Amino acid sequence: MRHRKKYTLTLFALFFVITTGCSLETSGESMTEQRAQSAVNSEIKGVSSGILDIIAVDGEVSEPGPGVGRCEEGELRTHFLMRHTWSLTARNSEVLAESMERLKAELPKQGWEILSYGPNNSPARTLTLMADHPEKKYGISIEYWRTRASDDAPMLLVGVVSACYRVPPGETVERY
């Protein structure tokens, strides 16, 4: 039953593309890129360390590494994305504020497109930088917290998220 539906959808999609000439992004398995999880794991760590390089501030970096997440579409068993959330806690907030400016200036030089930079919708109006890397296919969000609730220390909170990928045929996603 499911197969038939997909078949119909794909046919319709093709028809639509041919007649309208527009690029229709489907989530059919044929469209999601295939990649080994280990490769994305290494790559996202590289993205994080690249950002850390630009920040160039003395401080404590949180320990946990990246983890596997769910895609918006696609089966749990075969589709995955990776996320890495980490923080840098510094002794004083000025150097972190400065590093936000440095990020805004330097990230584009490394292929990032700044999508927004400014206060977000939180009550604290947190200064947030959001950027995408069209070539490497990553999205990042960097928030500058002058103080955090637990101990008032200043920190940068960085989130990195990859595109959605498909594991090689015959494999299932390993989640951690």
Partner 1 sequence: MGEAQRSALWALVDDGGRSGHPEAATSLASADAGWKETGAPGGLKSDTRLWSGAAEGVSALRGTVKKAIDQLSDGQKGLGAGDEAVTGLITGSAQVGVYRSWERYLDLLGRECGELSDKLRKAGNDHYGNEEATRAAFQRQLTKPEGAAGSGEHPTTDGR
Partner 2 sequence: MVSFATLRTVRPAEFEEAADGYHAVSNAAGDAKDRLTDEILARALPDPGSTTTDSEGLVGAAAAAARRRLERLAESCHYTQVECGLVRAALNGFATDLDAAKKKLDGALDDARVAGFTVESDGSVTYPAAGAKVDGDIPDGGTAVAYDDPTAGAVADQAARFDPNPHRAAAQDCANRIASAVKEATDADSRWAPRLKALRAQNDLTVSHADWADVHRDQRAVQKVAGEYLDKADIPQGRPPAEAARWWTTLTREQQADYATLYPASIGALDGLPADVRDEANRAVLAQTKGTYETELAALPTRPGRPGYNQPGLSGVDTWRDRQERDNEWEEEHGAEYERLNDALTGIRAIEKQLGSAGQDGLPESYLLGFSGKDDGRAVIAVGNPDHADHTAVYVPGTTASLGNIEGDIDRVNNLWRDSAPIVPDQQVSTVAWLGYDAPDSVVRDAPFSHYAHDGASAFASFVDGLKETNSADTGGHHTAVAHSYGTTLVGATARQHDLNVDDVILAGSPGVEVGSAGELDVPEGHVWNQEAEGDPTPDVGRWSHGGENWEVGGGVRLVPSDEVFGAQQMTTDTQGHSDYWKEGTQSLRNQSFVITGNYERVQHEAP
Q: Which of 20, 145, 139, 4 is nearest to 83 (CA)?
A: 139
Q: How far apart are CA 120 and CA 127, in angstroms?
A: 6
- Binds partner 2 (CB under 8 A): choice among 143, 154, 165, 166: 143
Which of partner 1, partner 2, none is residue 49 near (CB under 5 to 8 Å by kind)? partner 1
| Positions in the binding site for partner 1 (CB under 8 A) | 36, 38-39, 42-43, 45-49, 52-53, 56-63, 65-66, 86, 88
Give the C-alpha distances (Å, rounded to integers) separating 174 from 38, 41, 67, 98, 162. Answer: 10, 12, 10, 39, 16
Does position 116 interact with partner 2 (CB under 8 A)? The reply is yes
**Residues in contact with 113: Cβ distance below 8 Å, sequence separation at least 6, in sequence order:** 131, 132, 133, 134
Q: Which does 58 bind (CB under 5 to 8 A by kind): partner 1, partner 2, none?
A: partner 1
Check: CB of residue 59 under 8 Å from CB of residue 89.
Answer: yes
Site string for partner 2, 38-77 (x = CB under 8 A): xxxxx--x--------------x-xxxxxxxxx-xx--x-
User: Under DSSP, is residue 135 helix (H, G, I), strand (E, B) or coil?
Assistant: coil
Q: How far is CA 165 from CA 72, 99, 130, in A?
A: 11, 32, 22
Binding mask 122-141 for partner 2 (x = CB under 8 A): xxx-x-x-xxx-x--xxxxx
User: Where does this chain bind partner 2 (CB under 8 A)?
Assistant: 36-42, 45, 60, 62-70, 72-73, 76, 81, 83-87, 89, 115-116, 120-124, 126, 128, 130-132, 134, 137-141, 143, 145, 148-151, 153, 157, 159, 161-163, 171-172, 174-176
